[in-house]
Structure 1
Amino acid sequence: MCLGVPMRVVSVGEDGVVAEIDGVRKDASLMLLDEEVKEGDFIIVHAGFAISKLDEEDARETLRLMREVFRPEDMA
């Protein structure tokens, strides 16, 4: 299963961004986005690409729901 994950942008470079969630950092390309992205913004990252930008409230709600569905204790 592949999922796009909301992540907060921690740095912006020439070719993309570094985004973080729960201590995990990933490089993500911005080539699929036509919106400006800055540090602190939330983006959906899928397969190494930022595929959309979203507001903090939507990002936090999505993360809450994902954590509820994918709780570690259910993975045993």
Structure 2
Amino acid sequence: MVDVSQHELVPEHTVLEEESLEEVLEEYNIDRTDLPKIKRTDAALPDEAEVGDVIEIVRDSRTTEQAVVYRLVVE
């Protein structure tokens, strides 16, 4: 069986620590529930991700070297 999360085309997904999350929410002046959602069953999520966690996704970008996006894990 192939581990999709380790595929070279899947960007890095990490669970955001609570301290870092507070900084992000404050910077963008949003609540956790305002973030785009990602399902807990998504194969790219780290095994330790739980419903309510926020995932930081770091993607390659054509205009900048990296683009960072955040997703709220939902059922």
- TM-score (norm. length: structure 2): 0.28
Task: Report the TM-score when normalising by structure 1.
Answer: 0.28
Q: Which has the higher strand share?
A: 1
